[in-house]
Amino acid sequence: MIEDKNQTRTSLSELGEFGLINHLTKNFKLQHKSTIKGVGDDAAVLDLKDKQVLVTTDFLVEGVHFDLSYMPLKHLGYKAIMVNLSDVYAMNGDASQITVSIAVSNRFPLEALEELYEGIQLACKTYAIDLVGGDTTSSTKGLLISVTAIGSIKKKDVVYRNTAKQNDLLVVSGDLGASYLGLQVLEREKQVFKVNPNSQPDLTAYTYLIERQLKPEARKDIVKLLKDLNVKPTAMIDISDGLSSEILHICTQSKVGCNVYEEKIPLDPQVIATCEEFELNSTTVALSGGEDYELLFTISQEDFPKIKGNPHLTVIGHITQESEGVNLVTRANQQIKLTAQGWNALAKED
């Protein structure tokens, strides 16, 4: 053991691979009857009965998807799980198991991985998920995490991206753009810190933004809310890349067009204030920011009274026929074609 002031650093080589896996996973409790066998054999065994199985994977790479200079490892563990659960919920499904694979360089002591797994464990507890396996290996540089989430759903309840219909309403949960701005704030502080390591940043004006970036929540609650309201979306996707890009996925795959109203896009007051400070257009941020992990879905007009006035849901547009294209209707009542990057101000349409 190397004593680092009052921080203990245990080299991973002291434990060996099996010791490490055992150490990291021993406190995870299995919560699902469907988990017949979890960690410890060649493969996990699940019994999802007569339901359809949902499987989704995401890869997170240090330096590409996260920066450990401002992302605490516990948050990273939590977020890695959220990113995956969000995809299961976007199918209207129920997530029940995950596998977690990590590749780590010898730069990381055991204590770092313990922190990472604390975040993973908190996510598993909060969302009732069983950790049932994974893989552990070394990397020459940096940390890589791949998570696979497994869920299930009754065949009649699955919601795909490609089934939006003309005249459906386009609805989004929560609010948009905060996570992107949180990242901008953290990046700015990192630069300030580089110049002056003694600076004491006051981040109280940005707490919501930073929380959305560092500790996003997958919207399991929205899937339940829709069930309780007896609303089955006609199409659904989660917002990982930005509202604009996700609307285009739904529209392209469903072969429909859409009008989205700028004035309807839900924004938190901190998003509005921080956009002014950074001289950013809040609509652009909401459309292209990404990492919101909100749900974007379409519903039949008949279902509108069931969601009307719900504080978690906002109708932001409606589905049109394919030939009308995918447009943002601005506050000035101009129609602008949406692109995956947000909108192209040069491609104005009259």
Using CB under 6 A, list all residues that contact ligand ADP. 21, 25, 39-42, 100-102, 131, 133-136
Examine residue 47 and tell whether it contacts Mg ion (CB under 5 A). no
CA 257: distance to chain centroid?
A: 25
Helix (H) or strand (E) holding 344: strand 342-349
Of 53 and 272, which CB lies nearer to ligand ADP in the complex structure? Answer: 53
Pick between residue 135 and residue 263 the one whose CB is nearest to Mg ion.
Answer: 135
Closest separation between CB of residue 24 and ligand ADP, Å? 6
Specify whether the CB–CB gap between 36 and 97 falls below 8 A: no
- Of the candidate spans 133-141, 170-178, 202-210, 308-316, the one that interacts with Mg ion by CB under 5 A turns out to be 133-141
Question: In this structure, what token pair is assigned to residue 140?
Answer: 């020459």
Cβ of residue 141: shortest distance to ligand ADP, in angstroms? 19
Q: Are 239 and 148 in contact (CB under 8 A)?
A: no
3-state class of 338 per DSSP? strand
Nearest approach in angstroms of CB 38 to ligand ADP is: 7
Kind of pairing between the strands at 326-329 and 256-261: parallel
Min dist CB 42 to ligand ADP, Å, is 5
In sequence order, what are the beta bridge partners of 62? 66
Residues 84-123: x/- map of binding to Mg ion (CB under 5 A)? ----------------------------------------
Partner interacting with residue 41 (select from ligand ADP, Mg ion, none; CB below 5-8 Å by kind): ligand ADP
Cβ proximity to ligand ADP: between 39 and 46 the closer is: 39
Residue (21 or 256) nearer to ligand ADP, CB: 21
Q: Is 17 in the site for Mg ion (CB under 5 A)?
A: no
Residue 134 contact partner, candidates Mg ion, ligand ADP, none, CB within 5 to 8 A by sort of partner: ligand ADP
Q: How many residues bind Mg ion (CB under 5 A)?
A: 1
202 touches, from Mg ion, ligand ADP, none (C-beta below 5 to 8 Å by class): none
In the numeric block, which tokens belong to residue 280? 């950013």
Q: Which residue has the tokens 């257009």?
A: 281
Using CB atoms, what's the residue nearest to Mg ion?
A: 135
Give the pair of three-digit tokens for residue 106: 């010898």
- Alpha carbon separation from 14 to 142, 186, 228, 288, 309 (Å, rounded): 19, 35, 51, 45, 58
DSSP string, 84-149: HHHHHHTTT-EEEEEEEEEEE-TTS-HHHHHHHHHHHHHHHHHHT-EEEEEEEEE-SSSEEEEEEE
The C-alpha atoms of residue 202 and residue 208 are separated, in whole angstroms, by 14
Least Å distance, CB 93 to ligand ADP, is 22
Q: What is the dihedral of CA 221, 223, 225, 230, to 10 degrees?
A: -170
User: Which is closer to ligand ADP, CB of 42 or CB of 350?
Assistant: 42
Could you tell me if 44 and 133 are in contact, meaning their C-beta atoms sit under 8 angstroms apart?
A: yes
| Listed ranges 135-143, 216-224, 243-251, 330-338: which one lies at the site for Mg ion (CB under 5 A) | 135-143
- Residue 56 or 254: the one with the smaller Cβ distance to ligand ADP is 56
In angstroms, what is the minimal distance from the CB of 21 to ligand ADP? 5
- Quick check: 135 binds Mg ion (CB under 5 A)? yes
- Report the SS3 class of residue 30: coil
Q: With respect to ligand ADP, which residue has the nearer C-beta, 145 or 172?
A: 145
Nearer to Mg ion, 19 or 201 (CB): 19
Q: Shortest gap between Cβ of 136 and Mg ion (angstroms)?
A: 7
- Amino acid identity of residue 344, one-letter, is N
- The residue number whose beta carbon is nearest to ligand ADP equals 133
Token representation of residue 276: 């002014």
By CB under 5 A, name the binding residues for Mg ion.
135
